[in-house]
Amino acid sequence: MSLNLVMLGPPGAGKGTQADRLAAARGIPKISTGDMLREAVKAGTEIGLRAKVVMDRGELVSDEVIIGVVRERLDKADARHGFILDGFPRTVAQARALDKLMDGRDPLVVVDIIVPEADLVERLTSRLVCEDCGTNAEGVLRSAIATTRCVRCGGRLKQRSDDNEAVVIERLKVYRRDTQPLVDYYRSRPTFRAVNGAQAMDRVYADLAEAVDSAASGGALGGAVR
């Protein structure tokens, strides 16, 4: 049975970091719409420039664009035996589209990472990312930005343009309005789980891996936070 996993949670919940780790452990690709859009922005494509204007305001790119990006990605050979989606779906409309894309595949496992909003604001306004590959710089202080390089590619670190406090608050507002209803959409499924993301990263990963295994094997824990 392949693992087809959707990672839910607000900006700053740690979805990307945990998805990277789980994907490496399970030998399946992590598919991040955020990474794909940032690559388009860096390349200066038409869709990238349109997306940059929207993302810099803390808003979400249209469903039509995102669904098309994901459809093409899931059709690639490396995703046929499983994948982890980070950043998609963000809306119920996207979730319905994903259900259609899952025809002929094993069921989706859905995990919601829960973190209090005050913690999210602190995380996002203080984080640094690589300007080349977009990787988060875990544990790097802002004062060390000039001397520290990305652990993945050696690129320079910077603060994302959408990680200032005003935009962060707007992004969380947009999340609550548009993305939180996904939890209600998925909650009744036997493959849905919730994980406490306000813990040390290793503890979150251990809980995530256990929740994924339970859901994939048809366990009956439902939406209980692990």
Given the residues 26, 52, 123, 160, select the one marked as catalytic: 160
Domain segments of the chain: what residues? Answer: 3-116+180-216
Q: pLDDT at position 192, please?
A: 96
- In the annotation, is 142 catalytic? no
What tokens does 41 get? 């922005």
- In the annotation, is 160 catalytic? yes
Q: pLDDT at position 71, please?
A: 80
- In the annotation, is 127 catalytic? yes
Q: Which pLDDT tens digit goes with each residue over 11-46?
A: 889 988 899 999 999 999 998 887 777 777 787 877
Reported pTM = 0.74
Q: Which pLDDT tens digit goes with each residue over 68-105?
A: 778 878 888 999 899 999 889 988 999 999 999 999 89
Q: Which residues of 165-190 are buried (b: 16+ CB within 10 A; e: fewer)?
A: eebbbebbebbeebbeebbebbeeee
- In the annotation, is 21 catalytic? no
Given the residues 38, 90, 123, 193, select the one marked as catalytic: 90
Given the residues 127, 149, 158, 226, select the one marked as catalytic: 127
Given the residues 26, 30, 171, 193, select the one marked as catalytic: 171
Is 36 within 8 Å of 73 (Cβ atoms)? Answer: yes
What tokens does 148 get? 């520290």
- In the annotation, is 149 catalytic? no
CATH number for the domain whose boundaries are 3-116+180-216? 3.40.50.300
